Amino acid sequence: MHPLLEIRDLSFGYDKGSSPVFEHLDLDVRQGECIVVKGASGSGKSTLLRLICRLNIPRSGAILFKGTSVAEIPPPELRSKISYVQQIPQMIDGSIRDNLLLPFTFAQGAHKTAPDDATLERMLDAFYLHEVSLDQSALKLSVGQKQRLSIMRTILTGPDMLLLDEPTSALDADSAAMVFSIIERLNTEEGKTLFIVTHSDYQPAVSQVRSCTFRNGKLECA
């Protein structure tokens, strides 16, 4: 059986004549694993996430998802299966309900059944958002609340893998603890495969966790 994700001899640089950001990366990610990637600013952590979901193109090498090159998977389909949660959460000018149901208005999600209000309200409670209502403006939420809402919105369409780019970098300690708790629960209770980039010393309290660090253009994994 193939790993869920395979990274093979992957190299990336911004310009043809420039030095590579990293070279010859190899990594297998199994279903249900939690991969934590650390490293200095500019070492390639966020770039790797963007390569996985085809927001950037590698200089050489390949990335396979369930045995198929991501280059052969239409981007909307790929990003519905490998969902990318940005460092700074983005909300549309609308209600919390509008934001949560946004993925179901796109062509890739239109065939899926959108959750009803009761389901959304239960999820808000599970994501420590019991103090908000579906009808209130998402733009008026705190950054920590928006980050939790962003993760919630991402998992509603049932992706196989979540790419989390510095999910707590803009949060205070209490909000960060809530987000980390949600991340761990997604892995342990729902079996979500997670790929987390972080500057923090965070180490998830889950069984299938691996820590990787970018050093001198190489990815070293424990």
**Structural domain span for residue 70:** 5-221
Q: 42 or 47: whose pLDDT is higher? A: 47
Section 185-211 average pLDDT: 91
pLDDT digits (tens, 9 = 90+) for 89-126: 999 999 999 999 999 988 777 778 899 999 999 999 99
Query: What residue type is assigned to position 53 of the chain?
Result: C
State the total domains in the chain. 1
What letter does residue 169 receive in the DSSP assignment? T
115-118: Cβ within 8 A, 24+ apart = 115/156
Q: What is the pLDDT of residues 12-33, one digit of tens each?
A: 998 877 889 999 999 999 999 9
Rounded to whole angstroms, the Cα distance separating 191 from 184 reads 10
Question: What is the SS3 assignment for 24?
Answer: strand
pTM, entire model: 0.91
Task: Report the alpha-carbon distance of residue 21 to residue 52 in Å, rounded.
Answer: 15
Contacts of 80 (CB under 8 A, 6+ apart): 108, 109, 157, 159
The residue written with tokens 């999600």 in the block is: 109
The residue type of 222 is A
For position 25, which CATH number holds?
3.40.50.300
Which of 129-133, 177-181, 201-205 is predicted most confidently? 129-133
